[in-house]
Chains A and B, each alone.
Chain A
Amino acid sequence: MKRTLYVLLLAIIYWYVAGFSLLLFHSPGVVYQSNEEAPKPAKEAGGVFISGTSAGDAETLNWILAADSASFGYVGHTVDSLVTYDNEWRVQLRTAAKDVEVSEDGLVYTVTIRDDLRWSDGSKVTAEDYVYTLRNLMFSSWLNYPYQGDWQEEVGGKTVFVTPGVVNETTFNITRQTVDPEFIYTVRNLIPYPKYIAVKYEGDVKAFTQAPEFNNLTYTGNLGPYKFKEWVRNDKFVVERNPDYYLGKDNGAPYFEQYIIKLFGTSATAHAALEARDITYTGIDPDKVSKFKKMAGINVYTVPTTGYLLLAYNQRGNGWEGLKIKEVRQALSLAISKELIIEQVLYGFGDPAFSFIPKVSPWYLDKDMTKYGVKPLLDKGKAKELLLNAGYAVKTADGSIEVRSKGGKPLTLTLVTNAGNDERENVGYLVKEELGAIGINVELKFVPWATLLGKYLKNKVPDTDQEPGYNNGVGAVSEEPWDLMVMGFSTNPLSPSGQDVFYATKGGLNFPGFSNPQVDELFKRIKSAEALDEKAQKDLYAELSQLVSEEQPVDFLAFQLANVGFQKKVKGIEPGINMGYNYHLWYFE
């Protein structure tokens, strides 16, 4: 009896002391603005989650050198960014203690990070690490960070970097001289390099590239749900559960012992692996979805994506001159049925697109958009009329309209796309069919990707020795003539203004040569102080969408829907555009 009382007393003292010390160290200054539900009860961690993919392998874990998205994806399992977003674009705090604050004038961004972040050697992750990563690494000329453009601004005709500065141990700010309302999205994605390791390699790009700490992610500490274990090139990327994960303090997340990304050579073998339950998750091709939906142990979710298919109109000198006329482009778009393409090519997994802003973007506004390609603006008769008005058709004796080129001969257009991409080839066939129905003969040309880039996208002013580029100005033309091109682009849903690379006159990827001063103006305004007000920005985007849907720089065809298959035993999934945001809370049942 005495023993029991004694133990009970000790227990009470222990809990009291523990609770007290927790109170002491739990600084009240840190505010968690998380929209997450109350942390789940601590679960037993277990199981290996295997994610199958048939897209390529990453290039490097030294993310500051990477330009491909897979590399950032891999690293993202071991280091969190400042914030992330849920499926409704609500900010979910990660390494940031509170959301990034923007000053009234839009020129100063203040970031406060959590104070419980640690590198692998136990030292604190501080604002100094972030500022060092920005100033000494990302902005440096010896390292050549590919995405420097994200952190630059035009001041007085010159391109300069924004200015980061440390405020205190957990706070730093970034000062701009010009306003960019969408800069906040870039800031929110920041992940740091450890200064105490990086200084060893500073200035020596070769040493930095080959640095073992960065190539083996040995520094990541408690910054991510997983720790790097091994990477067999072209085979698999393995991370194991990080028991110190800062977000897992209360709930013991993550709940998988290991997370593996397994690479497959073809999607067919990835599907077979899911069917045999050898992997936990993979993407499913549109024509296999119904088969997988019927499987007992598999859940298939259909989620929106930000990728869209389009038909580009060549408005440069070596394309059909009719394409330079807005009404002609509209006529073509009137004739091509988007729903037909979605049904036949995407097996129904698509959303008709009328501008480059996807439905899932917070800036999407439907009003007043001109919706070519779906009823009532799907009218082959009307298309022929428009062509007649533009001078590209003649009226025959019996009153019907025959489409002709200016010389009176039947009209033949060349459609190019990259060979080997089934989706794009199929779109090409359908466009040929649709335009054939209004009397335009379309010649299909499928070329290898390298040829497409080199001879159809890249352009230069003829008879000069200019270096070919993707947009060498108004007078530039591509080496090979073309009229139509099936392409696929992708929009950043939070900052669709990035699409100005395609649709602004000086856009670096504006290979079709579209130019409209109003569109340029709107893009500029969206990137200016005017758009700091959320409502104003929404209106500006709405105006841009309307304009673009009417101007038809390209025929926007469809935003694709993706299908992902999971084994039924995975719980905690919230299907949506950002469904990975809470993956550290998924578990096996």
Chain B
Amino acid sequence: MTKKGIKRIAGKFGGIKNLILILLAALWLLTLLVDTLVAGRIFTPLGYLYLALGIVFLIYVAWPLYTSRRLVGYYWQRVKVNRLAVVGLVFILFLILLALIGPLFTPDPTAANFEEKNTPPVGLSIEESIYNAETGQFVTKVVNGTWGHPLGTDNKGRDLLAMIISGAGVSLQVGLLATGIAVALGTFIGVASAYLGGKVDNILMRFTDIMMTFPFFLLLVFIVFIFGPSLAFIVLVIGLTGWTGVARLIRSETLSLRTREFISAAKALGASDGRIILAHLIPNVVSLIVVIATLSIPGVILAEAALSFIGLGDPAVTSWGMVLRAGQQSLDTTWWVAVAPGVMLFFTVLAFNFVGDGLRDAFDPRSSV
């Protein structure tokens, strides 16, 4: 396989980047097929989604960033100036670290320990009463928070801190994956539809209409029955229901962009449709994409909570949504169970938002950073 030979093959596919993309995609598909047919478990369903998104990210985000390192350095300088964005970034990195290393220092989040149920966080105390059927009286004892369970426990005695840390990993994954699917699909279809217009717009938009009206919830009930509940299905369903909104939003923005002078200028210079879309249109809708993405993440996590609420969630996985659901019944007594994930969610959303703001400001050529 000489360098020239590779280049020739690559040329047939439209470039080395496309060749690698197709090779990786084929590999992914092959592994998936083998997994389903032979029923081995090379990767979990969630793992496959990760890989797919990872491939897309690699080819369309990481590679361009790598090849234009200088540009990346320039943008990073602009982002660095925005202190809040950096704080947000640090928090996100901290969350990732927490999700990776935290489980090593905390007890198993699924370990139920009924003796220690309903313990409040450290420093607080609560009364617990057990009824004695023989005497008809209550036996009351005071339960104090301990450092053994710094954030307290839920009604099954599971350590809340452990659940939050485990949930960080899961919710981040779910949030990023589902948002990734929705945003990637939605942006692609929205921009292509608006820019290419005419028949393509018609077909793509009717397809979006069908997806918007499709009874995904029913499908989820059906799928959960056949295959059992799994986080991957939830991610897929949330992502697939979400992209239509993104597509319409991006399309509306692109519609007004495509009639602008800089687009007609690029066209006049002979730029191909693909290049116009990738190099000119998408960067201009980046700010919208960033906002959509930051707002979607909490929405996704809450959607996952709602689905667990109804009973379609994956009971084997501890996510913030699951903790929220566990805590909602006793908000007036063991309130800490619902407050902890809510607070974490809030800070996560805030962090993503600040990072998004920073990115948007950095990309906007007109802002004086």
Q: Do chains A and B make direct contact within the complex (CB under 8 angstroms)?
A: yes
Q: Which residues of A does B touch, CB under 8 Å?
A: 266-268, 271-272, 285-291, 293, 302, 342-345, 347-351, 419-420, 422, 425-426, 429-430, 433, 446-451, 454, 561
Q: Residue B229 at the A interface, CB < 8 A?
A: yes
Do A448 and B312 have beta carbons less than 8 Å apart?
yes
User: From residue B227, how far is it (CB to closest CB) to chain A in Å?
Assistant: 10
Bound complex: CA A254 to CA B331 (Å): 38
Point out the residue from B136, B140, B155, B221 that lies within 8 Å of A287, measured CB to CB.
B155
For A339, the closest partner residue in chain B by CB is B133
A302 touches B333 (CB 8 A): no
Query: Is the beta-carbon distance between A349 and B114 smaller than 8 angstroms?
Result: no
The B contact surface, by secondary structure, is loop
**Given contacts A268-B328, A348-B130, A429-B114, are A290 and B136 in contact (CB under 8 A)?**
no
Question: A268-B329, A429-B114 in contact; A290/B138 too (CB < 8 A)?
Answer: yes
Q: How far is the CA of A185 from the CA of B311 in the complex (A)?
A: 38
> How far, in Å, is B321 (CB) from chain A's closest CB?
14
* Distance (whole angstroms) from the CB of A76 to the closest CB of chain B: 29
In chain B, positions 177-228 with a C-beta closer than 8 Å to chain A are 221, 224-225, 228
Known: A267-B329, A268-B328, A426-B114. A446 touches B315 (CB 8 A): yes
Q: Interface size bucket, B side?
A: 20 to 34
- Main DSSP-derived SS at the A contact region: helix
Contact in complex: A430, B225 (CB < 8 Å): no
Other A-B contacts than A426-B155, A451-B225, A454-B225, 20 sampled, CB-CB below 8 A, are: A266-B328, A268-B328, A268-B329, A268-B332, A288-B333, A342-B133, A344-B115, A344-B117, A345-B114, A349-B131, A351-B133, A419-B311, A419-B315, A425-B156, A426-B112, A429-B112, A448-B224, A448-B225, A449-B311, A451-B228
Cβ contact within 8 Å between B140 and A290: yes
| Complex contacts, A267 vs chain B, CB 8 Å | 329
B132 within 8 A of A: yes
Contact A302 B136 (CB under 8 A): yes
Complex: A342 Cα to B133 Cα, angstroms: 10
Q: How far is the CB of A216 from chain B (nearest CB, A)?
A: 32
Which B residues touch A454, using CB under 8 A? 225
Q: For chain B residues 277-327, which have a beta carbon within 8 Å of chain A?
A: 311-313, 315
Residues from chain B with a CB closer than 8 A to the CB of A348 are 130-133, 138-139
B127 interface hit (Cβ, 8 Å): yes
Query: Nearest Cβ in chain A — how far from B190, in angstroms?
Result: 35
Counting CB contacts under 8 A, is B44 at the interface? no
Q: A422-B155, A426-B156 are in contact. Are A349 and B312 (CB under 8 A)?
A: no
Residues of chain A within 8 A (CB-CB) of B117 are 344
Interface string of B120-158 (1 = CB under 8 A from A): 000000010111110010111000000000000001100
**Would B114 and A289 count as touching, CB distance under 8 A?**
no
CB of B330 closer than 8 Å to a CB of A: yes
- In the complex, which residues of chain A have a beta carbon less than 8 angstroms from the beta carbon of B228? 447, 451
In the complex, residue of chain B having the shortest beta-carbon distance to the beta carbon of A351: B133
Question: Which A residues are CB-close (under 8 A) to B221?
Answer: 450
Closest to A341 in B: B114
Contact B229 A448 (CB under 8 A): yes
Partner of A420, one of B112, B118, B311, B331: B311
Which B residues are CB-close (under 8 A) to A288?
330, 333
A420 contacts which chain B residues (CB < 8 A)?
A: 311
Contact indicator B138/A447 (Cβ below 8 Å) = no
- Contacts A419-B311, A429-B112, A448-B225 given; does A289 touch B330 at CB 8 Å: no
- Determine whether the beta carbon of B133 is less than 8 Å from that of A266: no
Bound complex: CA A446 to CA B229 (Å): 10
Q: CA–CA, A288 to B118, complex, Å?
A: 13
Verify B138–A429 contact, CB threshold 8 A. Answer: no
Contacts of B229 in A (CB 8 A): 419, 447-448
Give 6 nearest A-B pairs by CB, closest first.
Answer: A348-B131, A290-B129, A429-B112, A344-B114, A420-B311, A446-B315
Given contacts A446-B315, A448-B312, A266 and B114 within 8 Å (CB-CB): no
